[in-house]
Amino acid sequence: MKLDELKPAQKRASKIRVGRGIGSGLGKTSGRGQKGQKSRTGGGVRRGFEGGQTPLYRRLPKRGFNNSRFAKNYTEVTLTMLNKATTDVVDAESLIKDGIIAKANDGIVVIATGKLEKKLTVKAVRFTKSAKEKIEALGGKTEVI
C-alpha cells in the first residue's frame, strides 16, 4: 500500500433526532403522520398481520407430522472431535469435562466426519455404520448405552 492509494474513511450518517422542532423537518409528528395505530408509541402490527383478514399462515392447511412432544435431541460428535479426548474411555461426561461438547441433551451420536487418530472405547447412544467401522479398524470399541 502506498500513500497515493489511501482513501478516506467511509462517512457515517449522523443519527436522526426526531421531534426536535419544525425546522428539522421531522418535528411535531416526527415523520409518523397523523393519528392511527402506527403513529402511537409501541404501535404497529405483528409480522403476518393482514388487517384483521385471516392471515395466510392460518388459511393454509397443516401438513406433516410434528413429534416435538416425544422427539429426542441428540448431540452429534464427529471423529475429529474424539481426537481431542484426553481419556481412552470416551462417554458423555468425559466429553463435557474436556470441553468438547457443552451438554449431552438426550444422548450422544457419533458420526464419521473426519479421521480418528487413536484407539478409543466410545460409549454413545448411537453410531453411524461408517463411524463404528472406523473406530473398530483402529482397534477401538463401540458400546451402545
Please give the sequence-ordered ranges of beta strands (E in DSSP) within 1-125, or none if there are none: 75-78, 89-90, 108-111, 121-124
39 with 93, same domain: the answer is no
Q: Which residues contact 88 (CB under 8 A, 6 or more apart)?
A: 119, 120, 121
Does the residue 9 lie in any domain? Answer: no
3-state secondary structure of 114: coil
Does the residue 137 lie in any domain? Answer: yes
Count: domains in the chain: 2
The answer to whether the beta carbons of residues 108 and 124 sit under 8 Å apart is yes
96 with 132, same domain: the answer is yes
CA distance 111 to 74: 12
For residue 145, pLDDT beyond 90: no
0.75 cut: is pTM over it? no
Residue 40 lies in domain:
18-63
For residue 84, pLDDT beyond 90: no
How many percent of the chain have pLDDT more than 90?
A: 66
85 with 40, same domain: the answer is no
Give residue 36's Cα distance to chain centre: 37
What pLDDT was estimated at residue 1?
Answer: 85
**111: CATH:** 3.100.10.10
98 with 139, same domain: the answer is yes
Does the residue 68 lie in any domain? Answer: no
**Measured at the alpha carbon of residue 70, what is the angle toward residues 68 and 71, in degrees to the nearest 5?**
60
Average pLDDT value over all residues in the chain: 91
For residue 86, pLDDT beyond 90: no
The answer to whether the beta carbons of residues 110 and 126 sit under 8 Å apart is yes
The residue-averaged pLDDT of 29-43 equals 92
> Between the CA of residue 113 and those of 13, 79, 101, 104, what are the distances in Å?
47, 6, 16, 19
What pLDDT was estimated at residue 50?
Answer: 94
Q: In this predicted model, what pLDDT tens digit does every residue of 92-127 receive, in sequence order?
A: 999 999 899 999 889 999 999 988 888 889 999 999
How many percent of the chain have pLDDT more than 70?
A: 100
Q: In this predicted model, what pLDDT tens digit does every residue of 8-34 receive, in sequence order?
A: 999 888 899 999 999 999 999 999 999
What pLDDT was estimated at residue 30?
Answer: 92
Does the residue 1 lie in any domain? Answer: no
